[in-house]
Amino acid sequence: MSQIADLIARAARQFGPKPCLVEGERVVSFAGFDAATSRFAHAMQRLGLAHGDRVGVLLPNGIDCLIAYYGLAKAGLVRVSLNSRDTPADLAHKLAEVGARAVLVGDAAPALGVEIILPPARLRALLADADDADCTVARGLDEPYRLGFTGGTTGRPKAVTLTERGELAELSAFLTDLVPDIGPDDRFLHAAPIAHASGAFFLPALVRGTTSHVMAKFDAAAFVALAAASRATMTFLVPTMLALLLEEPALAGADLALRRIAYGASPIAPALYARAEQRFGRVFAQTYGQAESPMVITCLKPDEHDRIGSCGRPFTLAQVAVMDDAGQLLPPGAVGEIVVKGPQLMARYWERPEATATAFRGGWLHTGDIGRMDEDGFFYLLDRKGDMLISGGYNVYPREVEDVLLAFPGVVEAAVIGLPDETWGDRVHAVVSGQGIDAAALLAHARAALAGYKAPRAIDVWDALPKSPANKILRREVKRRVLAGQELTA
């Protein structure tokens, strides 16, 4: 039996009838989850899918999505997590990239060019008479377990091969450093996409007997209502979701029980964090990772948030350092590329040996993030390696400028890009979204807070900014749209 399957069976024995998953009126117990994932595995095997076959999952947030994820694990199949925000062309490309044999889809699914398409009606028919006895296929710890994709912030996403060993390492890291006190009395509210960061919290919740409540889609008012009704004690939010939540009128008088709010996927602006702590208290834990090292590079614990601006210290099982372009490790205070080692890392990029060798040059995973480490071992991210601007010969890190913009009332999102300029090289330009923003006043605010070469020359206000499926703002796409004169509307 695979170790993941064993964890599911063990939780069923230990917590049995206790609610494991709640979605609206639907409740699945821990024993029920074990049985449902076994039925799912049987159904996949009856279709002729064999150990190691890749299966895409394009399902909305919900119980069925999690049953599919862990049913595939029991069947020895390799999950390919997909996001409904992708275009049909992007989805078809990802499935073709990894040679997927099947894909699980919602009711209104596009043509994806895959051998076996499983819409809800066909899947229900397969599951109706499936056996719930254990049928787990043994899998080596270093075989492919699931395939993720890079965020696409620097180009077309690459498929990342993740193993069961890496999944177990991520679980250990969460239980050691991020949510060490999660237990049977907790209720975890999954409001962010399960296909990305929020899904990483399900396995820790499962093994500790925590009930998981799942929202189909994030909405600030619905989040407040469900958090209050469920007495949720833990959740995960990306900074944009947190910003929207703080603007929600219903939050002001809500009686909430949240004692841990994990956040990540993108850096948090100091002004946003200050507002969040004022409302919720010091309950926040930040996790920094990337597709190649899912969620596990550094962690900033609740009692360390006096160092806001830091992404924390390395997880217990991760080695993290700063390296220069020559491959030399740098001392505290020096700026370079963040590099990492550890059992949580990807095995490789799928069928891309050259890209894999480049990523792991010198024995370290190169993250592409520029940052520094202080004397106490806390890391600080400055920006993506390819996003730094040079204006008039000076380095400009977009994130520093974005933090200033996000401190202005009404600004929810910000992206700073460099536009071609014969005089300056890069002309600093900003695009923001939010409510009731006076662009002229915002520009004056930025110029008062920043050195002249860092301040934007102009600011555009859009309804929304383009994001990757992992909710990271795509500066590259912002720049393309600015140059093409295209505004993104909600």
Domain assignment of residue 394, yes or no: yes
Q: What is the dihedral of CA 158, 164, 166, 169, to 10 degrees?
A: 150
* CA angle (452 as vertex; 449, 453 as ends), nearest 5: 120
Q: Which amino acid would we find at residue 424?
A: W
Amino acid 87: pLDDT:
80
Token digits of residue 376:
């106490």
Domain membership of residue 474 (yes or no) is yes
Dihedral of CA atoms 81, 85, 88, 92 in degrees, nearest 10, equals -20
Q: Residue 490's pLDDT is what? A: 47
Establish if 50 belongs to a structural domain: yes
Does 38 fall in a domain?
yes
Q: Give the model's pLDDT for residue 51.
A: 95
Using alpha carbons only, give the angle 313, 196, 193 rounded to the nearest 5 degrees: 120
pLDDT at 155 over 80: no
- The number of angstroms, rounded, from the C-alpha of 2 to the middle of its chain's C-alpha atoms is 25
Are 303 and 338 a contacting pair, CB within 8 Å? no
Decide the pairing of beta strands 26-29 and 19-23. Answer: antiparallel
And the tokens for 331?
């001392």
Q: Which of 84, 60, 57 is nearest to 68 (CA)?
A: 57
Sheet holding 116-118, edge to edge: 116-118, 102-105, 54-58, 78-81, 144-149, 159-163, 348-349
Q: What's the pLDDT score for residue 108?
A: 75
Supply 242's token pair.
């947190």
In a domain, 25, yes or no: yes
| pLDDT for 259 beyond 80 | yes
Mean pLDDT of the region 71-97: 90
Task: Find out whether 388 and 399 touch, Cβ atoms under 8 Å.
Answer: no
Question: CATH no. for residue 416?
Answer: 3.30.300.30
Strand ranges (E), 4-131: 19-23, 26-29, 54-58, 78-81, 102-105, 116-118
Look at residue 331 in the predicted model and tell me its pLDDT: 98
DSSP letters for 276-310: HHHHH-S-EEEEEEETTEEEEEEEE-GGGGGGBTB
Q: What is the DSSP string of 452-480?
A: TTTS-SEEEEES---B-TTS-B-HHHHHH
- Is residue 40 situated within a structural domain? yes
The pLDDT value given to residue 463: 92
Q: How far apart are CA 160 and CA 336, in angstroms?
A: 24
Instruction: Identify the bridge partners of residue 188 per DSSP, sorted by sequence position.
Output: 212, 234
pTM assigned to the model: 0.85
Domain boundary among the residues 139, 171, 187 is at: 139
Containing structural domain, residue 427: 389-484
- Tokens for 175? 């239980």
Residues 18-32: what's their mean pLDDT?
A: 98
β-bridge pairing 234-237 and 187-190:
parallel
In whole angstroms, what is the distance from residue 409 CA to residue 442 CA? 9
Write the pLDDT tens digit of every residue in 163-176: 999 999 999 999 99
- Count: domains in the chain: 2
**487 pLDDT more than 90:** no
First to last CA, the chain: 47
Residue 286 lies in a domain: no
Comparing 299 with 422, the larger pLDDT belongs to: 299
Output the CA torsion sign for 27, 31, 35, 40. Answer: positive
Of 138-147, 411-420, 479-488, which range is least confident? Answer: 479-488
Q: What is the pLDDT of residues 418-475, one digit of tens each?
A: 998 877 778 999 999 998 999 999 999 999 998 888 999 999 999 999 987 667 788 8
The token pair at 201 is 């919290």
Band the pLDDT of 209: cuts 50, 70, 90: very high
Q: Given a cut of 60, is residue 489 above it in pLDDT?
A: no
**For residue range 178-200, what is the model confidence (pLDDT) as tens digits?**
999 999 999 999 999 898 889 99
Q: In the prediction, which pLDDT does 481 show?
A: 92
SS3 30: helix
- Phi, psi values for residue 401, rounded to 5°: -70, -40
For residue 334, give every residue at least 6 positions away whose Cβ sits within 8 Å of its Cβ, in sequence order, or none.
Answer: 322, 324, 372
Lowest mean pLDDT among 128-142, 219-233, 384-398: 384-398
Identify the CATH number of the domain in which residue 45 sits. 3.40.50.980
Closest CA to 477 of 486, 316, 148, 37: 486
Average pLDDT over residues 26-43: 97
Average of per-residue pLDDT across 191-213: 94
Q: Does a structural domain hold residue 234?
A: no
State mean pLDDT over 203-216. 98
Cβ-contact 195, 189 below 8 angstroms? no
The answer to whether the beta carbons of residues 365 and 294 sit under 8 Å apart is: no
* Domain end residue (candidates: 124, 139, 154): 139
Percent of the chain at pLDDT above 70?
A: 97
User: Quick count: other Cβ atoms within 10 Å of Cβ 116?
Assistant: 17
Q: Which helix (H) or strand (E) holds 110?
A: none
Give residue 371's pLDDT band: very low, low, confident or very high (50, 70, 90). very high
Q: Which of 139, 172, 191 is the last residue of a domain?
A: 139
Angle at the Cα of 406 (from 284 to 226), degrees rounded to 5?
45
Residue percentage of the chain with pLDDT more than 90: 74
